A and B are shown apart, each in its own frame.
Chain A
Amino acid sequence: MSAGDASVSKPVPVPDEITAPFWEAANRGVLAIQHCGACERYIHPPAAICPHCQATDMRFREVSGRARVYTHTIVRDNVTQGFAPDEPYVIGIIELVEQERLVLVANVVGVKPEDVSVGMPLRVTFERLNDEIALPQFTPDGGD
């Protein structure tokens, strides 16, 4: 098969012991981020032990889904299966409003790639991949 064959599916996340609550929430249309009960900081990607204070009291907390573009790239030449038909597509490093430098990776959708800019306000939306996985994605937030 050729790279970028539209019939080939994109990689699907495999939840594990640490990350399962993130994906369970996403599957319900909720963005939930790991939160340390000791130092009260958010952590992403989820970790077994808090990387800031080494505590083990790790929970998941629903967040607002509001964010901004921390930085981004416009991918024009990727050979990973399933993505070539989307090119050019935007990968955003998305900073959630809840905490400085609390970032996650998502595509910025619903906007022309060249119109995406650093600092652009965003809100979460979900892209369903299968019965168990919905990917958090981000789209420009008009502000309401």
Chain B
Amino acid sequence: MDEFSGRAAIVGLGYSKLERRSPRPLANFAREAAAAAIADAGLTVDDIDGLGTIPNIAAYGNTGDLEGIDIVTVPNMAQMLGRERGIRWHVQTPGLCPDTIMTAAAAVASGACTYALVWRAVNVPKGRYSDFSRARAYGDDQFRAPYGFTMPAAWQSVALRKYMHDHGSTREDMAAFVVQNRENTQLNPKAYWHGTPLTAQDYLDAPMLADPFCLYDCDIPVDGCVAVVLADAERARSLRNPPAYITGHAQTTWPTRGGFTDSEHMWEGGAAMGEKLWASAGLGPDDIDAAMLYDGFSIFLYVWLEALGFVGRGEAASYIASGATALDGELPLNTSGCSLGEGRLHGMAQIAEAVLQVTGRAGARQVEGVAHTIATVGAGTLASGGLIFSREPRA
């Protein structure tokens, strides 16, 4: 295990409402989540002296980035909290939330700030949000946009077809995870799909976006925000919630080489990240009691289960179908419904549920006796990250 393991913790967690195409500006969602997270930690706004976020619009193509509507930056949050003079440390990291959470964890552990608030606010951009509407294609886009390879569902569809071809899987096999995930979602009142069950037949009958990728292989875009409060391990112990100690961490710079063309990069990058993650915590797959693996698209679940070594290559779909990843199985998986069921929060759904499960606060879907949880975000390549949370500061 590395020297950082167990030195910082998530001590508070807050959600905004999750809506779709809400008339309320995104800033309102961010403020709602921030206030909830600070209150959950048993702190007040004046305790917060660190801020971190990912000020990216969750879209590809040609959409806007209007402050307070499409993004909520650090200066905006500082102003909404009335803390312009009190913030000693802040960061804005493009990409995905593990980068930001790791950086904030390092800040509280080092003393650069005392209590850091990290949030991710995402919206459903106006119109179709993967509409590549530029007339010219630069960079990697020059080798894909002219061919109409312009939507994330298509990028992941080629990976799913290769997976199904290489391992002899059918769409019936692919339904198992999506249906199980939606069952978990029914125990999560915050989730967008709470109250809307899904059967295997619903999955098989769903509209094809990019064959073999259907509507339910994609997460559900929402307007919403999740915020967390971090503190060093010593302060964490004195607060009202059990701390979710960060005992393992990993980031990756694994290149995609031309975007999502060769899906092998996802498995290779995920495995390389996994080696770092397990080493940092001094733990392995058998130590994990509940796993929240990124499911922005269904195919990513198979990447993470296999790349992290929970199962062998090509075994993820049959492992899920066996019931092993159900709430009462040996590896409860995405117990809140995460991206597919709760909403597209770009990884914060995974972080939040990993925190709730390890601190015994997951309500009706609580897994018994949880000592360690894992959250991964991304697809194994660029900007992907993973965190291990533990009930005790040292694994």
Find out whether the CB atom of B258 lies under 8 angstroms from the CB atom of A104: yes
Distance (Å) between the CB of B156 and the closest chain A CB? 9
Interface size class of A (residues with CB under 8 A): 35 or more
B145→A79 contact, CB < 8 A: no
Check A135/B255 contact, CB under 8 A, given A13-B137, A73-B211: no
Given A73-B211, A73-B213, are A107 and B161 neighbors across the interface (CB < 8 Å)? no
**B213 proximity list for chain A (CB < 8 A):** 73
Cβ of A63 < 8 Å from any Cβ of B? Answer: no
Judging by beta carbons under 8 Å apart, are A80 and B258 in contact? no
**What is the bound-complex CA distance between A77 and B53, given in angstroms?**
33
Interface string of B142-169 (1 = CB under 8 A from A): 1111111111001001110110010000
Assess whether B161 is in contact with A72, with CB atoms less than 8 Å apart: yes
Cβ of A111 within 8 Å of any chain B Cβ, yes or no, is no
Chain B nearest CB from A34 CB (Å) reads 12
**Chain B CB within 8 A of A93 CB:** yes
A44 pairs with B151, CB closer than 8 A? no
Q: How far is the CB of B381 from chain A (nearest CB, A)?
A: 13
Given A13-B137, A76-B208: A93 in contact with B262 (beta carbons within 8 A)? yes
How far does the alpha carbon of A90 sit from the alpha carbon of B211 in the complex, in Å? 9
Query: A73 to B149, alpha carbons, bound, how many Å?
Result: 10
Query: Across the interface, which residues of A come within 8 angstroms of B207, CB to CB?
Result: 76-77
Q: Which chain B residues border A73 with CB–CB below 8 Å?
A: 154, 157-158, 161, 210-213
A73-118 interface (Cβ within 8 A of B): 73-83, 86, 88-89, 91, 93, 101, 103-107, 113, 118
Decide yes or no: A135 and B146 within 8 Å by CB, A45-B258, A75-B210, A76-B211 being known contacts: yes
A80 touches B144 (CB 8 A): no
A80 touches B145 (CB 8 A): yes
Which of B139, B148, B150 has the most chain A CB within a 10 Å cutoff? Answer: B148
A-facing residues in B111-143 (Cβ within 8 Å):
128, 130-143
Q: Is there contact, CB below 8 Å, between A9 and B135?
A: yes
A residues in contact with B141, CB < 8 Å: 11
Cβ-based interface call for A39 (8 A): no
**A37 at the B interface (CB under 8 A):** no
Asked if residues A101 and B264 are in contact (CB atoms below 8 Å), the reply is yes
Q: Are A80 and B136 in contact (CB under 8 A)?
A: no
Contact between A51 and B257, CB atoms less than 8 A apart: yes
Q: Are A15 and B142 touching (Cβ within 8 A)?
A: yes
Task: List the A side residues contacting B147 at CB < 8 Å.
Answer: 91, 105-107, 135
Interface: A55 (CB within 8 A):
no
Contact (A11, B136) CB under 8 Å given A70-B162, A103-B261: yes
A3 within 8 A of B: yes
Q: Is the CB of B262 within 8 A of A70?
A: yes
| Residues in chain B near residue A44, CB distance under 8 A | 143, 258
Q: If the complex has contacts A11-B136, A45-B140, A105-B149, are A79 and B131 also in contact, measured as CB distance less than 8 A?
A: yes
Q: Which of A16, A70, A75, A118 contacts B154 (CB 8 A)?
A: A75
Picked from B151, B157, B210, the residue with its CB within 8 Å of the CB of A80 is B151
Is B263 in the interface zone, CB < 8 Å from A? yes
**Chain A nearest Cβ from B132, distance in angstroms:** 5
Most chain B beta-carbon neighbours within 10 Å: one of A81, A82, A88: A81
Q: A14-B136, A19-B142, A71-B162 are in contact. Are A3 and B131 (CB under 8 A)?
A: yes
Complex interface: chain A residues within 8 A of B158 (CB): 71-73, 91, 93
Minimum C-beta distance from A27 to chain B (A)? 14
The 8 closest A-B pairs by CB, nearest first: A13-B142, A74-B211, A71-B162, A73-B157, A11-B145, A83-B148, A11-B137, A80-B150
Tell me the A residues contacting B by CB distance below 8 Å: 3, 9-16, 19, 44-45, 51, 70-83, 86, 88-89, 91, 93, 101, 103-107, 113, 118, 129, 135
Q: List 9 A-B contacts (CB under 8 A).
A: A13-B137, A14-B136, A71-B162, A73-B158, A74-B210, A75-B154, A76-B208, A83-B148, A91-B149
